[in-house]
Amino acid sequence: MRETLRFLLGDRLVEIDHCDPTFTVLDWLRLDRRMTGSKEGCAEGDCGACTVVVGRLDRGRLRYEATNACIRFLPTLDGCQLLTVEHLKAADGSLHPVQQAMVECHGSQCGFCTPGFVMSLLALRLNEEKPGVGRIEDALAGNLCRCTGYEPIIAAGLRMDEIAPREADRFLSEREAVAARLAALGDAETLALQGGGGSFYAPATVEALAELVAAHPQATLVAGATDVGLWVTKAMKRLDPVIYLGRIEALRAITDEGDHLRLGAMAGHIEVRTALANLSPQLDELMRRFGGEQVRNAGTIGGNIANGSPIGDLPPALIALDATLVLARRSETGMERRSIPLESFFIAYRKQDRRPGEFVEAVLVPKLADGALFHASKVSKRFDEDISAVCGAFRLTLGSDGRISDARLAYGGMAGIPKRAAAAEAALVGQHWNEAAVTAAITALPQDFTPLDDMRASAQYRLKIAGNLLRRFLIETTQAETQTRVAGLLAEAAHG
Ligand SMILES: Cc1cc2nc3c(=O)[nH]c(=O)nc-3n(C[C@H](O)[C@H](O)[C@H](O)COP(=O)(O)OP(=O)(O)OC[C@H]3O[C@@H](n4cnc5c(N)ncnc54)[C@H](O)[C@@H]3O)c2cc1C
Ligand code: FES
Ligand code: FES
């Protein structure tokens, strides 16, 4: 075991021997290091005022990710590079091209939101050349300004590559050297850190993870911490011990296995989006609307499932696709694995079919068969960075006679768990896919669900929307020319 946390702060090596397992990156920067450029707005991953850029090795390549420092635990930076707004100005005082573009386009706003906008643009510049408006909007969706506007900031995003060529950007020219330094920090040892009366473990292999979970059955597993972080900053929970999964490369793997995709539990939402987009463009849109870029950079498919939230966006889509969950644990004889249909994992509100010592290892997602019809929709109050009021995903299989031979209708936000609509499915099977069938399914929906009234939506609204999504599915599959998606309208607006 290694007992020292090691990471780069800018180009300086930081080594820490004691650290509270849930001390946030933002608190460490502001309180310990007195680096106050990164701001605390919401402390729950929503506003982006705390955005920093984290460089990490991904299969040997350095990759930069905009991250919410307010909900990221400091020890999860092991083996990474942390860049904050303080690192941008050059030694001679000249501004970084992102800062210069913000100045020239009058994008600089108040001291709370501006550092976060700048860091989101930095991450975009370091990863992509000449991003267009749509991509800039995506990258900034996790940065909120409560008072002015986004136009000058988007203009700065368009301008930043003109101000100085990317080759001249010192972060890019130092990329190989930084990658080599991070590689030298990596090892196969478990990081075991004590501090603040708690323990933090970060194993580097699945086997070491299984042993740790068996040894500490009460531990909190942490993946991207986009849920768990809020338990600390908002619910003021004390988590001890913490087992972090982010150093286990094998859990991040996404592989094409012929008739299905295998997504490791630690596959991040950015990669999950790319993989699922190959199955259906609707999954691309669903994932584009999942949190903001910072949340998609940190959050994982395993966390979205294991959290067991009734309003998580991936479970309905994966249940409609008939996904299988692979759970693993350490038994007396070695590693023990079992595979279950994802839908049976969710037993009741916040209660899942997880045995002692088990963790989510992977999700197997079948590809759509030829001729299968698929739909995924999310309805939320805001288009970007908002949790669903209702999420619906549907897969229909049509027989050679044109009638529906199999229907899988899965919803989030309609019950205490993500759940299929059995009565509505029964109303569809054997029917032709048309208005009469949809009407019958909508009529059956109240047998399947008695939704909650809450701040996101009333029960009546949820039921109405659940039916409307089925109708949208019919329109999209039978009237290709009808515009049914806000995303399509936004893309048109952005491009012309
Ligand atoms: C601003 C904001 C916006 C968000 N928007 C959305 C949204 O649009 N749609 C949506 O669905 N969610 C959204 N979320 C919620 C959250 O981002 C997702 O649920 C995310 O997928 C959680 O993944 P994570 O890796 O961060 O999980 P974590 O927070 O690390 O963990 C979540 C839970 O899963 C457990 N866990 C994690 N990995 C494993 C594993 N491999 N095995 C067993 N247990 C495990 C943890 O112990 C914990 O109970 C949002 C959150 C924030 C803060
Ligand atoms: S302070 Fe709002 S996202 Fe971190
Ligand atoms: S929050 Fe900074 S200008 Fe609006």
Task: Give the CATH number of the domain where residue 292 resides.
Answer: 3.30.390.50
Q: Is the pLDDT of residue 397 over 90?
A: yes
Please identify, by atom number, the ligand 2 atom nearest to the C-alpha of residue 47.
2
Q: Where are the alpha helices (DSSP H) in 141-205?
A: 151-163, 170-173, 175-185
Residue 449 shares a structural domain with residue 310: yes
Using the mean position of ligand 1's atoms as its centre, give its distance from the Cα of residue 304 in Å: 4
490 within some domain: no
Residues contacting 102, CB < 8 A, separation 6+: 108, 114, 117, 118, 121, 152, 153, 156
The domain boundary residue, chosen from 186, 203, 233: 186
375 within some domain: yes
**Rg of the chain over all Cα atoms, to the nearest angstrom:** 23
Choosing from 140, 221, 233 the residue with most ligand 1 atoms within 8 A of its CB, the one to mutate for a pocket test is 221
Question: DSSP letters of 431-462?
Answer: SBSSHHHHHHHHHHHHHH--PPP-SS--HHHH
Band (146; pLDDT cuts 50, 70, 90): confident
Judging by beta carbons within 10 Å of its beta carbon (0-12, 13-18, 19+), is residue 184 exposed, middle or buried? exposed
Residue 111 shares a structural domain with residue 18: yes
Residue 153 shares a structural domain with residue 29: yes
Residues contacting 15, CB < 8 A, separation 6+: 4, 5, 6
Q: Which residues line ligand 3 (CB under 6 A)?
A: 109-110, 112-113, 145-148
- The single-letter code of the amino acid at 112 is F
Using the mean position of ligand 1's atoms as its centre, give its distance from the Cα of residue 433 in Å: 36
Write out the two tokens for 350.
Answer: 């916040």
Please identify, by atom number, the ligand 3 atom nearest to the C-alpha of residue 112.
2
Distance CA 182, CA 193 (A): 19
Q: Which range, of 178-192, 263-277, 480-494, averages the lowest pLDDT? A: 480-494
Using the mean position of ligand 1's atoms as its centre, give its distance from the Cα of residue 298 in Å: 9
Q: Is the pLDDT of residue 170 over 80?
A: yes
Choosing from 29, 38, 42 the residue with most ligand 2 atoms within 8 A of its CB, the one to mutate for a pocket test is 42
Domain count, the chain: 2
Phi first, then psi: what are they for 227, rounded to 5°? -100, -50
Using the mean position of ligand 3's atoms as its centre, give its distance from the Cα of residue 58 in Å: 34
- Nearest-CA neighbor of 120 among 91, 144, 149? 144
pTM value is 0.96
240 within some domain: no
| pLDDT, tens only, 352-362 | 999 999 999 99
493 within some domain: no
Rounded to 5°, angle at Cα 236 from 224 and 223: 10
Give the CATH number of the domain where residue 39 resides. 3.10.20.30
379 within some domain: yes
The residue-averaged pLDDT of 366-393 equals 94
Please identify, by atom number, the ligand 3 atom nearest to the C-alpha of residue 114.
2
Residue 17 shares a structural domain with residue 149: yes
Q: Is the pLDDT of residue 223 over 60?
A: yes
The domain boundary residue, chosen from 159, 186, 213: 186
Please identify, by atom number, the ligand 2 atom nearest to the C-alpha of residue 142.
3
Write out the two tokens for 99.
Answer: 């800062």
The residue segments making up the domain with residue 436 are 253-478
311 within some domain: yes
Q: How many CA atoms lie within 13 Å of 200's alpha carbon, on the beta-carbon side?
A: 30
Q: Is the pLDDT of residue 492 over 90?
A: no
Any ligand 2 atom below 6 A from CB of 79: no
133 within some domain: yes
Strand ranges inside 84-135, DSSP E: none
